[in-house]
Structure 1
Amino acid sequence: MYKILIVEDDNTIAEEVGRYLMKWGYEVEAVTDFGDVLGHFGRFLPQLVLMDIGLPFYNGYYWCGEIRKVSQVPVIFVSSASDNMNIVMAVNMGGDDFITKPFDLEVMAAKVQAILRRTYSFSAPTSLMEYKGMILNLSDMTLVCRDEKIELSKNEYRILQTLFENTGKTVTREAIMKRLWDEECFVDDNTLTVNINRLRKKLEGLGVEELIVTKKGIGYRLGEL
């Protein structure tokens, strides 16, 4: 089942579109906190986004740009501002299509189906993980936080992936080491500590402290921030 995220300031339109798409078998969610569109995106992990242009706080172009930092999922702009300048801007910001308000629901659904079919017929969606507004991209080993994107080393990425997969739990040092290195490569316990410290410094550069919490004598867990 494909998941569709609706980012629409008009509740009536969002509800109407949502009900119609659910009749087609899609799983649909609508953003209600327009100051945290990227966070909602990371938690829901949709395969397509319907994006209004005129939104509170930041417009749809801004949020499309933020999504493009972590994912190439299709974004369809939906707006009554259908002049050439807005259409060109939508395309330049990474939009895949443009639907002008008011629109016919059948036409909208047909566009959604066509883009999903074209995008996912031969490839799987990008795999993302989210925690407290931070998005870990499993396909290119990057982390996006507070509008900044950083590249991770293979070990840093695997450490975060392991912790993200075990949110709310403490992961033992032994379990992390097994994830990082295969049996053919012996690495002493100190090497894990070095990797953890390097990752912490990189996160501190993003202004994120206490993401990785040490449970003395056991291992590590994600902090509450």
Structure 2
Amino acid sequence: MPICQITLSANAGVALQLGGIRLWVDALHDKAVSGFSTLSPELQAAVAVHPDFAEPNLIFYTHCHPDHFSQRLTQLAIEQWPFAKAILPERQFENQLLLSRPREQLFLPELSVQFIRLPHEGEQYANVAHYGCLLDGSGFRVLIPGDCAVASPALREFLQESGPVDLALLDFPWIALSKGRRFIEQFIRPRCLAVYHLPFAADDIFGYRRAIFKAAEQVQVEDLRLFLEPLQRETFG
């Protein structure tokens, strides 16, 4: 069974290693949003020299909200790693791949990626260009729905077509809300579940961390892990 390694930058930013491919998802952002965490100058410096964030093959953003995306930091990364493919649902860079259709697919020698347009959580964000993805590396399947609306019918339809997943990376409201927990158990059915988009302790002004510890006890998943600390690394297989 392939091994999948995930390392957190901040918020919902990760470097994911699956087979010989390294994918960054929403990894670089630097604007503080109340109640959440971003990459401080110190964390930016740490990420810049961390081996898990070296030589990305793909740099993907689910959407371009400031708690997920920094144009400046991403431009610097593209200049540092010129062979990385930048993939976004908005035009930000000259040589990026632009997601625009309801479904898109990318094939690499050791990985296939399906991108799916999904509704962002919150009616006020209905017009936000937002995509999730499903990775398949040698049969190990990883679902990353981004800030998708919890229990979205569009995601349910996609999962009914695509089948079960080995690992799902989900924002914390998915396990905080009963409808999210039911959706996980009925439609995602992952062997492993990683929960993120949580603030670091110093930024947790709304008490999300304490609440999510309790909610995690109610989720019927074989392997559930919370991403809570900068540069936290977890391995799944």
Task: Tell me the TM-score normalized by structure 2.
Answer: 0.31
Return the structure number with greater helix share: 1
Return the structure number with greater strand share: 2
Larger radius of gyration: 1
Task: Tell me the TM-score normalized by structure 1.
Answer: 0.33
